[in-house]
Chains A and B, each alone.
Chain A
Amino acid sequence: MSKVSTKWVVLGGLLVALVLAGVVSRFASSDPDGLTKVSQDQGFAHTERARDSLIGDYGSVTGVVGVLVVLAIAGGVTYAVRRRHPHSEQS
């Protein structure tokens, strides 16, 4: 039985993530999210201290950049702390 290699699963998943962030995100709802809406309705939205985004709002380009930055950091951290010798207890 041929098994899809881990490499292809990761590359395939990454492609899906890039398409979601780069293309599908254009169709996302622009309504306020649950907490934002509740803060408006319950009268504490004014306590927010807003600040400017470093690379702009979520869009196709910034979304793709975000995906790659997250991939690099999360991939780097987990690569660094992973077990290097899964079959030996002392390592």
Chain B
Amino acid sequence: MHVPDGFLDAPTSAVTGVVAVAAVGVALVKARNELDDKTAPMAGLVAAFIFAVQMLNFPVGVGTSGHLMGGALAAVLVGPWTGLLCVSVVLLVQSLLFADGGITALGTNIVLMAVTTVLVGWLVFKLFQAVLPKRLSLVPVQAGLGALVSVPAAALVFVLLFAVGGNADVSLDKLTLVMVGVHTLIGIGEGVITFLAVGAILAVRPDLVYGARPLLEQRELVIKKSEVAA
């Protein structure tokens, strides 16, 4: 979904630029609480992995493709604030080195693919974590569901921005329909990839999955309590 230069007018791009700078600034402060000896080494890997997987466009319908955005994946693996930083670095490198996503649109792309997908992905993940049984094996499913919802959510935010500052006169109803439609299909791919990636790390080292930590801490408490009882 990399927005190139020109799709949105200058004022809108300036506003998304300010929002992106503010979001990254807050994330730089808040990420400190998430980054400890376990998450810090993972953060670089998560960003590098998302960059690699974003190269893998998969077909969605005829003549269209989609790729991972990665916000939900990053949030679940290393925490939402660190995740926002990871995806932002990916978008920065793609824009500067590969001209994938515009320079003036960098703020827009950070708002769409870092801020929106992390926020929505993480909230939906936490929602399902609260509602579903507290089982470690469900973490990849919850992450996948967060990922699935995060992509059409980003598409909706794009439509919103286009409604405010799009450089062309198009039917917004139609734009909403096709954007959300195609990005729901892409979201399914996002969900599957996120499910697999979180599942892989969880199988090897569940303690390296940030979103699984509340469950692990709970389990430790249960074990300690039963030891005392015995």
Please list the residues of chain A having a beta carbon within 8 angstroms of any beta carbon in chain B.
3-4, 6-7, 9-10, 13-14, 16-18, 20-21, 24-25, 28-35, 37-39, 41-44, 46-55, 57-58, 62-63, 65-79, 81-83, 86
Contact = CB atoms under 8 A, between A and B. Distances in A.
Instruction: Give the 9 A-B CB pairs with smallest separation, nearest first.
Output: A75-B44, A74-B47, A44-B168, A78-B43, A82-B35, A29-B65, A49-B6, A21-B52, A71-B48
| Most chain B beta carbons < 10 A, residue from A43, A75, A81 | A81
Q: Is the interface of A mostly helix, strand, loop or mixed?
A: helix
Contacts, number: 221
Interface of B: 1-7, 28, 31-33, 35-53, 55-60, 63-67, 82, 85-86, 89-90, 92-94, 96-100, 102-103, 155, 158, 166-168, 170-171, 174-175, 178-179, 182-183, 186, 201, 204-205, 208
A23 to B, nearest CB: 10
Given A35-B3, A55-B97, A69-B93, A24 B63 contact: no
B112 to A, nearest CB: 9
Nearest to A62: B98
A44 B174 CA distance: 13
B168 A49 contact: no
B43 A42 contact: no
A78 B40 contact: yes
A61 B32 CA distance: 34
A74 B86 contact: yes
A63 to B, nearest CB: 5
B42 A51 contact: no
Contact of A48 (B6, B93, B201): B6
Contacts of A20: 49, 52-53, 55-56
Contacts of B86: 74, 78
Given A30-B57, A78-B39, 19 more contacts: A9-B201, A9-B205, A13-B45, A13-B201, A20-B55, A31-B64, A33-B65, A33-B66, A34-B1, A34-B60, A35-B179, A44-B166, A49-B102, A50-B99, A53-B100, A54-B97, A65-B97, A70-B47, A76-B44
A3 B31 CA distance: 26
B43 A51 contact: no
A16 B90 CA distance: 17
Given A16-B49, A43-B170, A83 B35 contact: yes
A7 to B, nearest CB: 8
A33 B39 CA distance: 32
